[in-house]
Amino acid sequence: MATEAFEDIAETFDFLDDWEDRYRHVIELGRAMPPMEEALKSPFTKVEGCASQVWIHPVLQGAGPSATFDFTGDSDAMIVRGLIAVLHAMYSGLSVAEVTQVDAMAELARLGLDEHLSSQRSNGLRAMVGRIQSVATDAARA
């Protein structure tokens, strides 16, 4: 249930031969993301469980299960900022009900991220996915 933007990333990863090229691509995705407003970087938006500083600010259009999900995010680590960009491609534009149905770890495994991230980065990635899923679940109930 991946978005077209995520499918584009998956196709690029299929084209890139080695992990170093994929790693650089993730960093480039992070660099291309618009910056997050400093005012949004607060304890409320900070994601706990990440080795780096990570902030995710959800942006919902509408209410209930059909509300459209989006978010802004940032990190003080370039690779993590790139992972945020990958998650943005995965979730942006879906309804909150659809967000709750995405098996993010299976989708990310298609990129080989599960094999090449340190355990700390993997834990942080799971924490980011957990935050997104929690926001979507709460919004779908509203």
Tell me the one-letter amino acid at 97: A
Please, which residues have CB within 8 angstroms of residue 30's CB and are 6 or more apart in sequence? 75, 78, 79, 80, 81, 82, 83, 84, 85
Q: Where are the domains of the chain?
A: 4-141
Angle at 100 between CA 96 and CA 101, to 5 degrees: 120
The per-residue pLDDT for 1 is 65
The per-residue pLDDT for 51 is 84
Which residues of the chain fall short of a pLDDT of 50?
none
Q: Could you read off the pLDDT of 44-60 as tens digits, one per residue? A: 999 998 889 999 999 99
The residue with tokens 């992972």 is 83
Among the listed residues 2, 29, 36, 50, the single catalytic one is: 50
Q: What is the pTM of this model?
A: 0.94
Three-state DSSP class for residue 54:
strand
The per-residue pLDDT for 116 is 82
Active site residue 50: yes
| Rg of the chain (C-alpha set) | 14
Q: Could you read off the pLDDT of 97-107 as tens digits, one per residue? A: 999 999 999 99
The per-residue pLDDT for 83 is 96
The per-residue pLDDT for 112 is 86
The per-residue pLDDT for 115 is 81
The CATH code belonging to domain 4-141 is: 3.90.1010.10
